Amino acid sequence: MHIVAFNETKIDNLVSDNEIRISGYNIIRKDRNRNGGGVLMYIHESITFLERSDLCPDSLEMICEEIRKPHNGSFLVSSWYRPPYSNVDLFNDFESFLQDCETKDYELYVMGDLNCNTDQLSPDHNTRKLLFLSTLYQLEQLINEPTRVTKTSASLIDLDFTNKRKNISHSGVIHLGISDHSMFYAVRKLIIPKSHPKTRIVRNFKNFNVNDFLRDLSQITWETTVIQDNPNTCWKIWKSFYLGVLDRHAPFRRVRIRGNSIPWITSDIKN
């Protein structure tokens, strides 16, 4: 995975990055304390990104990163932890964040434990507010199965919203069992630039006639190739005669190499 986010990290500044480092990944974190809260994101070192803390209201436990990939427009990946029993007014700050992103026309992904069960037939006022904002800002929710399952309940409170659903190839839930919350994921499609077609020069034997070729070879005064004292000179003369005839019967042409060529099928195997 290229980007991995955690909510409720329960760490503070006494925990260094080295203690929680994963090889090959950069760490972005916003701690609360060891009693609860906190968000953290690992981004693979192959990805260029820019921290966008300027977009995140101070009241939200949120981190936001602008992902920059070649040949693909930049997009925002944000992780937000909304504690249970939070004041509904917190959604006003979340709306400010959405408004900022919409004004700047960003492709946006907001994921996290939002403690709003969107799987309920009669959602509470917090969930209704979240769903209202998602409709208002044309956000689609990608996760469609419960992410927190116990012996007595199943709720969908870990969510992933985006304003560019068409750029997601697939998404889902992985029940890892290491927490009371399951892991969810989404895969964003990327544009792979087309490489320029490769070509090579080959002889064209399409209209090659063996008899005509041998006839023309037989008309060459081959004795002139061996009257030189230097064998290298003799070889060059013989080669120029031979290739001169071959060029008439099997001229060179440029052909495109297919991208799906099979390198282990050699000319010997074909013969």
**Residue 98 to residues 68, 231, 237: CA-CA distances in angstroms?**
20, 82, 79
CA distance 147 to 183: 7
Domains and CATH numbers, the chain: 3-188 (3.60.10.10), 199-270 (no CATH)
Write down the pLDDT at residue 46.
93
- Per-residue model confidence as pLDDT tens for the chain (271 residues): 999 999 999 999 999 999 999 999 999 999 999 999 999 999 999 999 999 999 999 999 999 999 998 878 899 999 999 999 899 999 999 999 999 999 999 999 999 999 999 998 899 999 999 999 999 999 999 999 999 998 899 999 999 999 999 999 999 999 887 788 999 999 999 877 776 777 888 999 989 999 999 999 999 988 888 888 899 999 999 999 999 999 999 999 988 876 655 677 777 888 8
What's the token pair of residue 143? Answer: 């996760």
Write down the pLDDT at residue 178.
79
Write down the pLDDT at residue 62.
97
Write down the pLDDT at residue 260.
57
Q: Which helix (H) or strand (E) holds 26?
A: strand 25-30
Contact present, 242 and 251 (Cβ < 8 Å)? no
